[in-house]
Amino acid sequence: MGVQKKTRKFAQRDERVKNPPASAKQEKPKDELTTQAPQAPSNMFFTANTALGPPYHVLVDTNFVSHAIRTKQDLLTSMMDLLYAKCIPTFTDCTIAELEKLGDKFRLALRMAKDPRWERVRCSHSGTYADDCIVDRITKHRIYIVATNDKDLVRRIRKIPGVPLTNLSAGVLGLTTALRLQQESQRAQQVLIVAKDFPNTTSINYASPWAGAHYRPVPGSTPQAVREEKQAQQTYKHFKTVAAQEPGAGVQIVDGVEHLENPPAEYLDPQNIRNAYAHLDGFRQLTAEECPAPTKWGVCYKSVAVNSPVYCAWLLRQFILKGGQVREYTLGDVMEAFYLAENVKTVINCSGMGFKDPKSFIIRGQTCLVRNPCTMTLTRQNTDGSWSFCIPRPLGGGTIIGGTKQPRDWDPNPSPQTRETLLSNAAKWFPFTPESGGKFDVIRDIVGRRPAREGGMRIEAEKVGEGRVVVHAYGAGGRGFELSWGVAGDVLDIVQGNGLLQKASL
């Protein structure tokens, strides 16, 4: 007897799939936590981290120390052999605490981690899990290289852009002032920088990284000019120290020359010239024969050139490594700063424009950054009163050719005509190397807004409530770098004079 043939219907679903057993239907508990990974802009993975520079600060984790001992590797020598630069092994409090908890087996690793040659970073957060501490620190402050052979930690760090692996404004005035206050305060007094922009960001309103940043005196006899001369002289002295002791800071001593076709009256007063220029190394006023026609006045001296993005990143790095805290935040009013941390009694307002100060205004500037090298800074005043200059950026940062000063001009777009004028003047007047042939390799056009103020900078203390003080220091115009350390010194005097700073004990 034949067997009846049965044809299975196409795409017929198994009854077990249509009606799964009750055990398979497991709903997610309502109170179960879900993992939320912080998102970072993808473009940051392909951008150079300008906050990194020698000496490199290398955060070392627990496993790396133990591994170095087992393989009989000298920690410092191996790092310097790998990076070809000075390195500073750095340990957090959490790493030290974790080694202490591991007991006698890790006593050699603990002894190595506590070597007085290494740098110790204080931790203010709760808990002592070293991996979380390292990830949190490098996420907030991308100034470290991490040394680890922990695969799980490596996987976490690779999600953070700008972190290499081995196996109120943060403008120049704000950064300098914060660092100066930090140097003089006791450890118990924390300094917090609150800013919308930091050196790793770019904004037309964040002028410091765009600056040409060279040192050039401005003669004058007004009270504002006299004050700025004192601030500039303090800054020049400090810049010379930085250039000699910190080659990675982006500060360099170079020859400076000025040629003026139509010198203002301030430049023809011998007393003004002595007050403004006498402190400069190698200062000499040029003879009529030494001034190229049609210029009528000239001087030469040892100036300072600053690679502004590198220097701002270096300032921030020094501040953080000394225990400073930073917070990215947009303030609506200066009073809001008192609520961003516990027990805030003093706010230093280095916001550039102040907060709705009617005397503040912007000065639009356009310059051009070229790859052509130049060994000196030269400033030239034209007959019509306009100025041109070339400023080399140390550490191979190219040369800034400038520039314009356009008060209250809010146009954010670079002008092709202005670029053509700047480069044409540079080819005629500035000492670029012969192989340039009057042609320039342009990296970018730069437009920035310098925060200025009628009557000059506002530097004063203002009581804004019971036990609360705001110290104002803003409105430097185009002289932020030239005045920075002098302004920081004035702010320090005000803070100490009002009893707002507990002086560090030696």
**Which of these three, 132, 166, 200, is where a domain ends?**
166
Residue 30 counted as domain residue:
no
pLDDT given at position 20 = 54
Nearest in space to 424 (alpha carbons), one of 479, 392, 394, 382: 382
pLDDT given at position 172 = 84
CATH number at residue 156: 3.40.50.1010
CB atoms within 10 A of CB 402: 24
Residues of the chain with pLDDT under 50: 33, 35, 42-46, 167, 188, 503-506
pLDDT given at position 5 = 56
Q: Note whether 97 and 219 are same-domain residues.
A: no
Give me the long-range contacts of 341-347 (CB less than 8 A, separation at least 24). 341/190, 341/192, 344/192, 344/468, 345/467, 345/468, 345/469, 345/500, 346/468, 346/469, 346/470, 346/471, 346/495, 346/500, 346/501, 347/168, 347/468, 347/469, 347/470, 347/471
**Which of these three, 134, 166, 198, is where a domain ends?**
166
Q: Which domain holds residue 132?
A: 49-166
Residue 325 counted as domain residue:
yes
At 268, list the tokens: 């023809």
- Alpha-carbon distance of 150 to 363, in angstroms, equals 51
Q: Note whether 487 and 356 are same-domain residues.
A: yes
pLDDT given at position 505 = 32
Q: Note whether 274 and 419 are same-domain residues.
A: yes
Q: Quick check: 168 and 308 in contact, CB under 8 A?
A: no
User: DSSP letters along 30-78, please?
Assistant: TT-----PPP--GGGGGS--TT--SSEEEEE-HHHHHHHHHTT--HHHH
- Alpha-carbon distance of 447 to 466, in angstroms, equals 42
pLDDT given at position 76 = 84
Residue type, 424: S
pLDDT given at position 362 = 94
Nearest in space to 480 (alpha carbons), one of 367, 350, 332: 350
CB atoms within 10 A of CB 311: 31
Q: Note whether 184 and 112 are same-domain residues.
A: no
Q: Note whether 382 and 403 are same-domain residues.
A: yes
> CA 89, 95, 98, 100: dihedral to nearest 10 degrees?
50
Q: Note whether 146 and 254 are same-domain residues.
A: no
Q: Note whether 486 and 385 are same-domain residues.
A: yes
Q: Note whether 160 and 176 are same-domain residues.
A: no
Q: Note whether 267 and 374 are same-domain residues.
A: yes
**Which of these three, 105, 136, 166, is where a domain ends?**
166
pLDDT given at position 69 = 85
Residue 10 counted as domain residue:
no
Residue 19 counted as domain residue:
no
Q: Note whether 399 and 417 are same-domain residues.
A: yes
pLDDT given at position 248 = 87
CATH number at residue 427: 3.30.9.10
Q: Note whether 191 and 140 are same-domain residues.
A: no
How many domains does the chain fold into? Answer: 2
Q: Note whether 324 and 419 are same-domain residues.
A: yes
pLDDT given at position 303 = 96
Residue 7 counted as domain residue:
no
